[in-house]
A and B are shown apart, each in its own frame.
Chain A
């Protein structure tokens, strides 16, 4: 009897240890079948070889969009920027309050978020145009200070609007790849 109880305790302990060491998902660094589609969504081709011009227009656009530049490396065509914003959504707050009333305990809801973006330019092999790829992501914290979301932002409209604004800024048409 005592043996099985110890065995049970042991397996609980072991699974606890294993849970603490949850490791990287197997496909975290695997090239997914959707990666080509995402690349097309996030990339436009501009008919110019002036990479610096595209980068400075991108930096100005990021400022227009309320981002602050964190890092940049012109010689590699990289700009990284971010902004902190509220993540409060009325619907979620109402739901949290209702559930809290039912449970008699506070229920956390999304409070703030950090939105991050990188813009990368790359001269294309044709020797006359440059590709611009932009990617957005965000981390959301709830009122309990826990990370409630950590995700890519892949809504096509985000990218369409960004590139339409960038085209206007550089007086060049942005072509789909």
Chain B
């Protein structure tokens, strides 16, 4: 038996990688269970020192519009708003607002870019930067 050369080994690794990617199960895609959900939650969430849910949602809607989104739907009871941005691509985002303790609201945003979840921290940082400017409040990082 000859020993595998470095490039053969690498090729094999890439092959396995492709196989793995090609075979992501429907369950994994449906539940996005390959992502670290705790890390993602922290990237997508900020706390604001207010308890005014309606105003926070209205500000989120205005921010989405400033960013070029068309609002798809909104629900005050549920505390959610969803919008779509079309700019050669399709970016869809839901923003939800929930009470956090007695004095704060937790704002969570999750986005999908075409057919992929957005998991980079930067787009969310930019969204919350725009939101906190419109809220006149600081967005607190939460763990």
Contacts and interface: CB of A to CB of B under 8 A. Distances in A.
Interface of A: 3, 6-7, 9-10, 13-14, 17, 21, 23-32, 35, 38-39, 42, 70-71, 73, 75-78, 80, 116-118, 120, 122, 133, 135-139, 150-152
B76 interface: yes
B70 A135 contact: yes
Contact of B116 (A21, A38, A77, A118): A21
26 contacts: A6-B7, A10-B7, A10-B11, A17-B21, A23-B113, A23-B120, A24-B91, A24-B113, A28-B113, A28-B123, A32-B68, A35-B66, A38-B66, A70-B73, A73-B74, A73-B76, A78-B81, A80-B71, A116-B70, A116-B84, A120-B61, A120-B65, A133-B62, A135-B68, A137-B86, A151-B88
A80 B8 CA distance: 55
A58 B90 CA distance: 26
B116 A71 contact: no
Given A118-B70, A152-B68, A28 B85 contact: yes
B42 to A, nearest CB: 17
A139 B62 CA distance: 22
Contact of B67 (A6, A35, A133): A35
A150 B76 contact: no
B87 A29 contact: no
Interface residues of B, number: 49
A30 B126 contact: yes
Contacts of B87: 28, 150-152
B130 A150 contact: no
B122 interface: yes
B100 interface: no
B70 A117 contact: yes
A9 B73 CA distance: 47
B58 interface: yes
Q: Which of B54, B72, B81 has the most CB of A within 10 A?
A: B72
A14 B89 CA distance: 23
B84 to A, nearest CB: 7
A150 B113 contact: no
A24 B114 CA distance: 9
A58 to B, nearest CB: 13
B93 to A, nearest CB: 8
Nearest to B113: A24
A76 B76 contact: yes
B65 A29 contact: no
B7 A71 contact: no
A150 B114 CA distance: 11
Contacts of A3: 5, 7
A10 B81 contact: no
Contacts of A136: 70
